[in-house]
Amino acid sequence: MYNTKYICHYHSSDIFFETETDLITEDEKDFIKNALYRNDMLYIFDIDDFEEEEINSCIKELHDKIQYCNELMELMTFLASKYGSIDKEFGLMLLFTYDYLYLSHPCICDFLENGFISKENLHLLNTAISLKNL
């Protein structure tokens, strides 16, 4: 259901060769990164098609598995509150948005595999969420 061995690629600095950067427009780069983001989501949830219902179902199932992780619950609550919601599942969905997926995925993997989140991974995610919400 959740692929803890997968590493996100969409946000990696090495997805474009240096020689390509002058040949590709910013719009084209964004298009490629968005396609990679959607592909990362498919691999993370081990699904074949980018269908909202199926992804939402996977997120609900994941929520049940991580509901006892205080650090993630706090972040989910914080993000949901920024949109006037108290729904932690909605907060989890926000952790899977383009801005946060590459940081939230390692935290979730840590918790699912080890029962805790590494300080480094948690710090990176906390920092990104704090900076986006200033």
Q: What band does 113 get if pLDDT is binned at 50, 70 and 90?
A: very high
User: Which residue range forms the structural domain that includes residue 61?
Assistant: 26-132
**Cα dihedral sign, 131-117-79-49:** positive
Note whether residue 13 is domain-resident. Answer: no
Percentage with pLDDT > 70 across the chain: 94
17 domain residue, yes or no: no
Element (H, E) at 61: helix 52-66
Residue 8 lies in a domain: no
Per the domain annotation, does 93 fall within a domain? yes
Q: What is the DSSP string of 62-106?
A: HHHHHTT-HHHHHHHHHHHHTTT---HHHHHHHHTSTTTHHHHHH
35-94 pLDDT, tens digit each? 999 999 999 999 998 788 888 899 899 999 999 999 999 999 999 999 999 999 999 999
CA dihedral 93, 96, 97, 98 (to 10 degrees): 180
Q: Would residue 43 count as lying in a domain?
A: yes
| pTM metric for this prediction | 0.89
Domain count, the chain: 1
Collect all residues with Cβ–Cβ distance below 8 Å to 97 and sequence separation of at least 6: none
Is residue 11 in some structural domain? no
CA distance 100 to 24: 25
Domain assignment of residue 4, yes or no: no
16 part of a folded domain: no
- Angle of helix 101-114 versus helix 70-81 axis, rounded to 10: 150
> Which pLDDT score, from 0 to 100, does residue 134 have?
44
pLDDT higher for 20 or 40? Answer: 40
